[in-house]
């Protein structure tokens, strides 16, 4: 299950339990809509409560990243999992966004907020 929050210039996604293809499609629709009308956005992807993801989600993630290389400014991934960290770095090959992995939500939000304020990374 996912919960998506949107504010101007930012999309926040929290994943709980199993991350399914249906969840990913919901994420794709929100980001596609937001990027179309607002331009590139910042993304906070909180995967700390994710229990598992299906193989089709992993494939869709790569396909989505390749199709939308310019839709993001910064991507902050919150996780404790080394596997998710590795997966995030793989996605980084296809997007032109600045992507970082965090274990602390406050640090992730502060990093994203720096971009909004026009501060250097």
**Residue range(s) defining the domain that contains residue 38:** 2-116
Structural domain contains residue 49: yes
Residue 93, domain CATH: 3.40.50.10600
Structural domain contains residue 121: no
Tokens 């992993």 sit on residue? 58
State yes or no: pLDDT of 3 exceeds 90: yes
- pLDDT (tens digit, 9 = 90+) per residue, 78-89? 988 766 655 665
State yes or no: pLDDT of 39 exceeds 50: yes
Which comes out higher in pLDDT, residue 7 or 119?
A: 7
Structural domain contains residue 20: yes
State yes or no: pLDDT of 42 exceeds 90: yes
Structural domain contains residue 7: yes
Contact 34, 8 (CB under 8 A): no
Structural domain contains residue 11: yes
Q: Tell me the average pLDDT across 106-116.
A: 88
Report the C-alpha gap between 20 and 69 in whole angstroms.
Answer: 22
Number of domains in the chain: 1
What are the helix (H) ranges across 1-121?
21-38, 55-67, 82-92, 105-116
Please tell me the predicted confidence (pLDDT) of residue 74: 92
Tokens 């596997």 sit on residue? 83
Q: Greatest CA span in the chain, whole angstroms?
A: 38
């Amino acid at each position: 299950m996912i919960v998506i929050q949107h504010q101007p210039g930012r999309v926040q996604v929290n994943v709980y339990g199993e991350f399914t293809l249906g969840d990913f499609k919901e994420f794709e629709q929100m980001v596609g809509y937001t990027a179309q009308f607002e331009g590139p956005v910042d993304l906070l992807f909180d995967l700390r409560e994710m229990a598992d993801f299906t193989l089709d989600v992993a494939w869709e993630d790569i396909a989505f990243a390749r199709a939308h290389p310019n839709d993001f400014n910064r991507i902050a991934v919150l996780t404790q999992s080394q596997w998710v960290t590795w997966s995030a770095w793989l996605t980084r090959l296809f997007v032109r966004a600045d992507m970082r992995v965090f274990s602390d939500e406050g640090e992730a939000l502060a990093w994203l907020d720096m971009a909004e304020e026009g501060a250097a990374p």
